[in-house]
């Protein structure tokens, strides 16, 4: 159990939702950066299902004097599988492209409609995140990505209901990508997942290919830095040690976003 003065020094939370948004958020871009800075974190990634966060991240970073990373989520609000949106996000300093999340059921992915997107991701060394795609779609995307030489790939919350990857699928995905385990899945108003399930997955796949993130920011959940501490405690309680946590929260996300 970590004490209340425990600091998240060097940590990177790769998945935070912030205001402004049409859903209630507990903190805005600058506020969440300020909180992370006080914890001596190294960086945060801010995400919106509805609009690009590349420019917002730049402004928040300047105002907080802290590393804030943004990108674009390819939902219908951004034009779906829209290569122009990806190009602009990269031009504005964005580092991550999330494939569809809330629009995933309405968007079909095939080699023809993602070719330009994958080219831009490869040319700009961006992180490709799989959003709310199902395992079969994720495997197809991994195959496409390999042919474009894309090496920075993040499988978003594989254990949540919107993705639903079993352990064998997770092991196969981890051959080519990092698995991002999000603590929000354990919250009562979300998947209400037992943290032991995440810990077991980490043990099976190995911490070298996993990342711990919060996916917090919702008004009904704690603030993201508190969520990360809760996540750490739950992993300690389920047999994950500090060395492995540092690998998943410092080393692995740094390789994706800062190297």
Q: Where are the domains of the chain?
A: 12-257
- CA–CA dist 46, 155 (Å, integer): 16
Mean pLDDT score of the chain: 97
Q: Is the peptide bond before 20 cis (omega within 30 degrees of 0)?
A: yes
Give yes or no for residue 36 having a pLDDT over 70. yes
The 8-class DSSP code of residue 218 comes to B
- CA–CA dist 248, 208 (Å, integer): 7
| 78 touches 52 (CB < 8 A) | yes
In the CATH hierarchy, which fold is given to the domain comprising 12-257? TIM Barrel (3.20.20)
The structure's pTM equals: 0.96
- The closest alpha carbon to 76, from 56, 102, 110, 114, belongs to 102
Under the banding of pLDDT at 50, 70 and 90, the label for residue 17 is: very high
Give 86-120 pLDDT, tens digit per residue.
999 999 999 999 999 999 999 999 999 999 999 99
């Amino acid at each position: 159990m970590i004490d209340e003065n425990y600091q998240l020094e060097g940590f990177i939370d790769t998945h935070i939702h912030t205001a402004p948004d049409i859903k209630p958020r507990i903190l805005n871009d600058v506020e969440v950066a300020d909180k992370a800075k006080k914890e001596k974190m190294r960086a945060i990634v801010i995400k919106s299902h509805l609009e690009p966060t590349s420019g917002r991240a730049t402004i928040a970073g300047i105002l907080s004097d802290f590393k804030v990373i943004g990108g674009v989520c390819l939902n219908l609000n951004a034009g779906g599988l829209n290569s122009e949106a990806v190009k602009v996000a990269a031009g504005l300093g964005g580092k991550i492209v999330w494939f569809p999340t809330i629009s995933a059921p309405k968007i079909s992915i095939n080699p023809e409609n993602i070719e330009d997107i994958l080219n831009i991701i490869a040319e700009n060394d961006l992180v490709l995140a799989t959003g709310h795609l199902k395992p079969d779609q994720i495997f197809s995307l991994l195959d496409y990505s390999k042919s474009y030489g894309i090496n920075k790939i993040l499988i978003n919350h594989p254990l949540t209901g919107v993705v639903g990857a079993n352990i064998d699928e997770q092991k196969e995905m981890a051959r080519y990508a990092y698995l991002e385990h999000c603590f929000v899945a354990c919250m009562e108003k979300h998947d209400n997942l037992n943290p032991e399930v995440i810990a077991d997955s980490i043990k099976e796949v190995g911490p070298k290919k996993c990342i711990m993130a919060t996916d917090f920011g919702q008004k009904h959940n704690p603030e993201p830095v508190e969520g990360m501490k809760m996540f750490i405690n739950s992993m300690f309680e389920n047999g994950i040690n500090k060395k492995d946590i540092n690998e998943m929260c410092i080393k692995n996300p740094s390789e994706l976003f800062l190297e």
